[in-house]
Structure 1
Amino acid sequence: MFNYNHIHFFIFSILFITEVAIALFIHDQFIRPYLGDYLVVFLLYYFTASFVKTKPTYIIIGILLFSYLIEILQYLNIVDYFQIKNKILRIVIGNTFSYEDLIIYTLAGISLYLIKSRCHKK
């Protein structure tokens, strides 16, 4: 079940650098809110797949459930409820619920599933 995959970790690293660059340097109304959320599903997938060897579908479902959970916590305003002061933790959890985020996560999960399905067929 546990297995290090250096190719997946490399892809994760590239996605991580991309996400950090988006967070630090892009302050628009499309790339940061939509592309950033879309890519985070891929980021989490490749991070998990770097260390866990299982069917891609299982990882994708787990990532989507995790993403939905974070969004629900945002809806419940968990950051303010627990008075979380740590800036990094506040950014990771977020504090703005959006139905659009749920749609973006779902689209990313479907895209990832289609990509991984095609890769497995080869």
Structure 2
Amino acid sequence: MNLQMTKRNQLRIKYAIAFVLLLLVEVMIALYVHDTFVRPYVGDMLVVILVYSFTRIFIPERCRLLPLYVFLFAAGVEVLQYFKLVHVLGLEHNRFLRIVLGSVFDIKDIVSYGVGSMLLEAYERILG
């Protein structure tokens, strides 16, 4: 096995571990935190990092614009909430999909996604 392949696999493992840990944190926040800061803002900021980590499992090479792409994806999902996608698709009774897709548009969520994306950009510049 060549050195480049080994490094790619090590990166994939690192991002897979980060993804699982962040997913656990997000689930714990969703289940047990019912405040006005951590759940709505920190949770939304972390979801961007969660999506980034998941993506990096499959694309371990540095992708300069990945933080921007993840932000655009998250903001796009938020805009779909504005248009009530969950209701349009008839999924309002499916609790899991309602949580994953979201059902309430809030511009502050997009700001939180932006903060998470800026943290990812800083990570890319410093460590990436």
Same fold by TM (over 0.5)? yes
After TM superposition, give the deviation of residue 53 of structure 1 in Å. Answer: 3.0
Task: Decide which structure has the larger Cα Rg and report it.
Answer: 2
Counting only pairs closer than 5 Å after superposition, residues 36-115 of structure 1 correspond to structure 2 as 36-84=43-91, 85-115=93-123
* Structure 2 residues without counterparts, runs of 5 or longer: 1-7
Corresponding pairs, count: 118
After TM superposition, give the deviation of residue 51 of structure 1 in Å. Answer: 1.3
Structure 2 match to 1:19: 26
Question: What is the CA RMSD across the aligned residues, in angstroms?
Answer: 1.3
After TM superposition, give the deviation of residue 35 of structure 1 in Å. Answer: 0.4
Letter paired with 1:61: L
Give TM-score scaled by structure 1 length. 0.90
Runs of 4+ in 1 over 4 A off after TM superposition: none
Give TM-score scaled by structure 2 length. 0.86
* Structure 1 residues without counterparts, runs of 5 or longer: none
CA distance, structure 2, for counterparts of residue 47 and residue 39 of structure 1:
12
The percent identity for this pair of structures is: 34
CA distance, structure 2, for counterparts of residue 57 and residue 83 of structure 1:
37
Structure 2 match to 1:8: 15
